Structure 1
Amino acid sequence: MSVEQSTAPPVAPGNRPGVLARMRGTEIRNLGLVAVLAVLVVIGAATSENFLTGDNLENILVSSSVIGVVIVGATFVIIGGGIDLSVGAIVALASVWATTLATQSYGPWMMALCALLVGAGAGLINGLLIAYGKLVPFIVTLAMMVTARGLAARIADNRTQLVTEQPIKDLAKSDVLGIPLLVIILAVVAIAGWVLLNRTTFGRRVFAIGGNEEAARLAGIDVRLNTALLYVLSGSCCGIAAIMLLARTTTGSSTHGNLYELDAIAAIIIGGTLLSGGRGTIVGSILGVLVFTVITNIFILNNLATETQNIAKGLIIVAAVLLQRRANRS
Structure 2
Amino acid sequence: MSVDATAQNGAPGRSGSPVPDPDRQQTVAPEATHQSRFTALLASSFGRNLGLVIALVLLCVVGLATAGDRFGTFDNAMTILRLASVIGVISVGMTFVISGGGIDLSVGAIVALGSVWATTVATQAMAADVHWIVMVFTAVLVGAACGLVNGVLIAYGRIAPFIVTLAMLAAARGLAEIIAKRRTQIITDRDFIDFFNGNVMGVPVLVIMFALAAVVGWLLLNRTTFGRRTLAVGGNPEAARLAGIKVQRQTAYLYILLGVACGIAAVMIMARTTTGSSTHGQLYELDSIAAVVIGGTLLSGGRGTIVGTVFGVLIFTTLTNVFTLNDLDTSTQAVAKGAIIIAAVLLQQRVAGRSHKT
TM-score, normalised with respect to structure 2: 0.85
Which residue of structure 1 lines up, in the alignment, with residue 338 of structure 2? 314
> Residue 42 of structure 2 contacts residue 48 of structure 2 at CA under 8 Å; is this kept in 1?
no
CA shift, 1:167, in A, is 2.1
Moved more, 29-38 or 233-242: 29-38
Take 1:153 and 1:33, find their aligned partners in 2: how far apart are those partners?
38
Aligned identity (percent) is 62
Query: What CA distance in whole angstroms lies between the structure 1 residues aligned with 2:125 and 2:182?
Result: 21
Q: Is 1:141 the counterpart of 2:161 in the alignment?
A: no
**CA offsets 1:148-203 (integer angstroms, 9 cap, x no match):** 00000000000000011112211343111111110000011110011111111110
Q: Within 5 Å, which residues of 2 pair with 1:179-218?
A: 179-218=203-242
Moved >4 Å (runs of 4+): 21-24
Instruction: Describe the shift of the 1:159–1:118 C-alpha distance in structure 2 as closer, same or farther (beyond 3 A).
Output: same
Separation in 2 of the partners of 1:280 and 1:266? 14
Q: What corresponds to 1:43 in structure 2?
A: 62
Match of 1:82 in 2: 102
Does 2:116 match 1:92? no
Partner-residue secondary structure (3-state), 2:76: helix
Query: Would the aligned equivalents of 1:75 and 1:280 in 2 still touch at CA under 8 Å?
Result: yes
Kindly provide the CA deviation profile for residues 76-128 of structure 1, in whole angstroms up to 9, marking residues without a partner as x. Answer: 00000000000000000000000001001121111000001000000000000
The answer on whether the counterparts of 1:171 and 1:182 sit within 8 Å (CA) in structure 2 is: no
SS of the aligned residue for 1:328 comes to helix
Secondary structure of the structure 2 residue equivalent to 1:64: helix
Matched, 1:290 2:314: yes
Q: Could you tell me how far 1:54 is from its partner in structure 2?
A: 1.4
CA distance in 1, matches of 2:121, 2:163: 33
1:31 to 2:50 alignment: yes
Contiguous gaps of at least 5 residues in structure 2 = 1-36
Letter in 1 for 2:53: V
Structure 1: segments with no counterpart, 5+ residues: 1-17
Code of the residue aligned with 2:171 in structure 1: it is T
Letter paired with 2:79: N
State the Cα deviation string for residues 45-90 of structure 1 (Å, max 9, x = none): 1101200111111000000000000001011000000000000000
In structure 1, distance between residues paired with 2:190 and 2:144: 25
Q: Whole-Å Cα distance in 2 between the matches of residues 122 and 202 of structure 1? A: 21
Contact 1:168–1:246 under 8 Å retained in 2: no
Q: Which protein has the larger Cα radius of gyration, Structure 1 or Structure 2?
A: 2
SS where residue 159 of structure 1 aligns?
Answer: coil
Measure, in 2, the Cα distance between the counterparts of 1:24 and 1:325.
11
TM, length-normalised to structure 1: 0.92
1:62 aligned residue: 82
Contact kept? 2:43, 2:351, Cα under 8 Å: no
Q: Report the AA paired with residue 136 of structure 1.
A: A
Residue 126 of structure 1 corresponds to 150
Distance 1:23 1:33, change over 3 A: closer
Distance 2:176 2:43 in 1: 45
Aligned-partner Cα distance in 2 for 1:88–1:129? 19
Instruction: Provide the rounded CA distance (Å) in 2 between the counterparts of 1:312 and 1:116.
Output: 32
Q: Work out the CA distance in 2 between the residues paired with 1:307 and 1:204.
A: 39
Shift of residue 22 of structure 1? 7.7
CA distance in 1, matches of 2:164, 2:60: 39
Cα drift, residue 27 of structure 1: 1.0
- Which residue pairs with 1:15 in the alignment? none
Cα distance in 2 for residues equivalent to 1:313 and 1:59: 20
1:23 deviation in Å?
10
SS at match of 2:44: helix
Structure 1 residues 22 and 195, CA gap change in structure 2 (3 angstroms): farther
Q: Distance in 1 between matches of 2:150 and 2:214?
A: 23
Give how far 1:321 is off: 0.8
Query: Among residues 306, 320, 325, which one is paired with 1:301 in the alignment?
Result: 325
Residue 106 of structure 1 aligns to a residue whose secondary structure is helix
Inter-partner Cα distance in structure 2 for 1:322 and 1:142: 24
Which residue in the other structure is 1:275 paired with? 299
